[in-house]
Structure 1
Amino acid sequence: MSTFSDPPSAARYAEGPVRLVPGFHALQQMAALLLAERVPADGHVLVLGAGGGLELKAFAEAQPGWRFVGVDPSAEMLKAAEVTLDPLASRVELIEGYIDTASEGPFDGATCLLTLHFLSAEERLHTLKQLRRRLKPGAPLVVAHHSFPQTEREKVRWLERYAAFAVSSGVPASNANKAIEAIGARLPLLAPEQDVALLEKAGFEDVELFYAGFTFRGWVAYGAR
């Protein structure tokens, strides 16, 4: 997460996901639609990993009656979020920190996009439990992050596909190869079945896969009633 703590990296963040995450804008659109299935028109939504403000902007534009709490550990990324949100900022409370710093809620829904892959399994479980505690019974949580098979052969194959997508989106091949080396070596990656098990262990029900894009997976799950 420290990658996004310096001003230049934070300023460039908006350029990255579109070229690195297959269907990035559609992912945000789908997340908003999944939330809207249960979040009321005047709902209160928690966005964990909100730095940059990209999904906050997408959600706020899609649902003019929703209010948001956005949490991120990077002050620079939150500054970027303020710029991104601009006229929508009055409906968003931005908090610097992690899940334990977040408001207690209870919230009508929550998202955690492109964030959990930075956390170890133990840290993910804690984060998911704290998200569950802050949600109303039956409220939706939408998550999406790197999650793919972790045998050595499969891991190499999927990371190479991730790099190929990045190159096809305009990322220099040398940068793409450095990225997959860093992802493979530094991120505490989990297989999809492990991610589902953590969601269920944290107290979520009816876990459903809604998104798969090369190395990325996304699920919607619901707090136990």
Structure 2
Amino acid sequence: MARLLLAESVPRDGQVLVLGAGGGLELKVFAEAQPEWRFVGVDPSAEMLKLASATLGPLAPRVELVEGYIDTASEGPYDGATCLLTLHFLPAEQRLHTLTELRRRLKPGAPLIVAHHSFPQGEQQKARWLNRYAAFAVASGIPAADAGNAIAAIGSRLPALSPEQDLALLREAGFDEVELFYAGFTFKGWVAYNPS
């Protein structure tokens, strides 16, 4: 989905910033699908970046891997950016800073694709959505004890926000045309654009 959303706006020879590059799986998917795109992948873990380099294999020359956070990323400007399964680790103030810096590094009209845990934060609603997430995991073959441990960790350790709060932060960071493109139990995904 992220690849298709990027391809709507990123030119054939575009450059894409991938914040939270992890082990390089999304970089590989993007690079295989778009043979002329170039990438900057940023991640705070040197170990994950080594894995990303191995995952990319012969595609690695088109990717600059940078150890760090958004402030470590070059200024660009980039034709598009992604931040997948990352923002839910950041408290609201740090998340706003990250989103603002992502937008500042994008060309006018360029897309940002984000996806992460985002669910209602009221006590009863939060419990309901986490339990739904666990039930889906169990139905997918995950042992019930592991699913229970996962939702306990998500509920107590992640500074998750509600979808309304996430949307407000994207707008406060200066993005416009923010659109929800994915919703699956506790996960949400948005595409947003740097104003032209």
TM-score tier after normalising by the smaller chain length: over 0.9
Counterpart Cα distance in 2 of 1:173 and 1:79: 33
Q: In structure 2, what is the equivalent of residue 182 of structure 1?
A: 153
State the Cα deviation string for residues 129-155 of structure 1 (Å, max 9, x = none): 000110001100000000011111111
1:1-225 to 2 correspondences below 5 Å: 30-225=1-196
Which residue identity does 2:127 align to in structure 1? V
Counterpart Cα distance in 2 of 1:79 and 1:60: 17
CA shift at 1:170, angstroms?
2.4
Counterpart Cα distance in 2 of 1:67 and 1:165: 36
Counterpart Cα distance in 2 of 1:67 and 1:170: 37
Counterpart Cα distance in 2 of 1:165 and 1:105: 40
Which residue identity does 1:208 align to in structure 2? E
Aligned to 1:124, what secondary structure does the other structure show? helix
Counterpart Cα distance in 1 of 2:16 and 2:158: 28
State how many pairs are aligned.
Answer: 196
Give TM-score scaled by structure 1 length.
0.86
Give TM-score scaled by structure 2 length.
0.98
Aligned to 1:180, what secondary structure does the other structure show? helix
Counterpart Cα distance in 1 of 2:18 and 2:44: 12
Aligned to 1:129, what secondary structure does the other structure show? helix
CA shift at 1:84, angstroms?
1.1
Identity of matched residues, %? 79
**Runs of 5+ consecutive residues of structure 2 not aligned to the other structure:** none
Counterpart Cα distance in 1 of 2:18 and 2:136: 27
**Runs of 5+ consecutive residues of structure 1 not aligned to the other structure:** 1-29
Aligned to 1:190, what secondary structure does the other structure show? coil
CA shift at 1:171, angstroms?
1.9
Which residue identity does 2:49 align to in structure 1? L
Counterpart Cα distance in 2 of 1:70 and 1:125: 20
State the Cα deviation string for residues 199-222 of structure 1 (Å, max 9, x = none): 000010000000011100000000
State the 4+ residue runs in structure 1 displaced beyond 6 angstroms: none
CA shift at 1:109, angstroms?
0.2
RMSD of aligned Cα (Å): 0.8
CA shift at 1:165, angstroms?
1.8
Counterpart Cα distance in 2 of 1:165 and 1:83: 32
